[in-house]
Amino acid sequence: MRGPTAVPREEFEAFVIALTHDIRNRLNSIALEAADLAEQAGPPADGTRLQQCVQDCSAYLKTIRETLAPDESHTKTVALTEFVKKLRQKKPI
């Protein structure tokens, strides 16, 4: 029987994966726009710093997804209160 704060792991992982995927897609769009603007502006404009920032954010989201929804998980449910407690005890992502 599930408690009020338990969520099936499959649903939790699907949510985390979908959320981080959507955010990463938007960040990648920003990186492409920055590259396009830098190309249109020509030298000395350089979108490299902005592109790097966006890529760093995207990599961070990937790390979050891999931490919160690892591919090798074996449990059937996620107790959200316990999950948050364990997450707070971990080193920063």
Q: What is the mean pLDDT of the chain?
A: 77
pTM above 0.75, yes or no: no
Per-residue model confidence (pLDDT) at position 87: 67
Backbone phi, psi, residue 4, to 5°: -65, -20
Categorize the per-residue pLDDT at 49 as very low, low, confident or very high, splitting at 50, 70 and 90: confident
* 52 within domain boundaries: yes
How many domains does the chain fold into? 1
Range of the domain at 84: 6-89
Cα 79 to chain centroid distance, Å, stands at: 21
Q: What is the dihedral of CA 67, 72, 78, 81, to 10 degrees?
A: -30
| Assigned domain for 47 exists | yes
Give the span between the Cα atoms of 69 and 63, in whole angstroms: 10
> What would the mean pLDDT of 13-20 be, rounded to a whole number?
84
Residue that wins the pLDDT comparison between 1 and 31: 31
Q: Is residue 1 part of a domain?
A: no
The predicted-structure confidence for 57-91, as pLDDT tens digits, reads as follows 888 888 887 877 776 666 677 677 776 776 677 66
